[in-house]
Structure 1
Amino acid sequence: MPRTRLSICQRKQRFASEEDAVRAALAATIDLRPYACDRCGQYHLTSRLKGKRRLPLA
């Protein structure tokens, strides 16, 4: 898996837990998935779906 670029990590909103990131993804108006960032150790959201697991239905 490619490493998250530092510039991308710094621009994105951070979530302390996967649960918080999932909640934000479910509330969004577009399809987003959370992922653990290998730079900051927290969670971000991405609109890229390849290789990302599906979110539970709300």
Structure 2
Amino acid sequence: MRTRLSICARKRRFGSQDAALAAALAGSVPLRFYRCDRCGQYHLTSRTKGKRVLPAPGMDDQPT
């Protein structure tokens, strides 16, 4: 789905995927980043239904 220009203008922009990931992991709610098709930079979204969710900080993917 294409990002609406009005939504893009209101959201914070991150110049790199790493910066967006760091901000997403620092948030108090589950967030994920995406590359905006309007501005070409990265935004955060709380919409995670059907999407890969980022691992919580301090959590390993390795089973114990």
TM value normalised by structure 1: 0.88
Partner of 1:35 in structure 2? 34
Larger Cα-atom Rg: 2
CA distance in 1, matches of 2:17, 2:50: 17
- Count of residue correspondences: 57
Partner of 1:46 in structure 2? 45
State the shift of 1:10 in Å.
Answer: 0.2
CA distance in 1, matches of 2:8, 2:22: 19
CA distance in 1, matches of 2:51, 2:41: 16
1:57/1:31 CA distance change after superposition, 3 Å: closer
State the shift of 1:55 in Å.
Answer: 1.4
5+ long unaligned stretches in structure 1? none
CA distance in 1, matches of 2:16, 2:50: 20
Q: Kindly provide the amino acid, as one letter, of the partner of residue 13 in structure 1.
A: R
RMSD between aligned residues: 1.1
State the shift of 1:31 in Å.
Answer: 0.7
Q: Which runs of 4+ in 1 moved over 4 A?
A: none
1:39/1:24 CA distance change after superposition, 3 Å: same
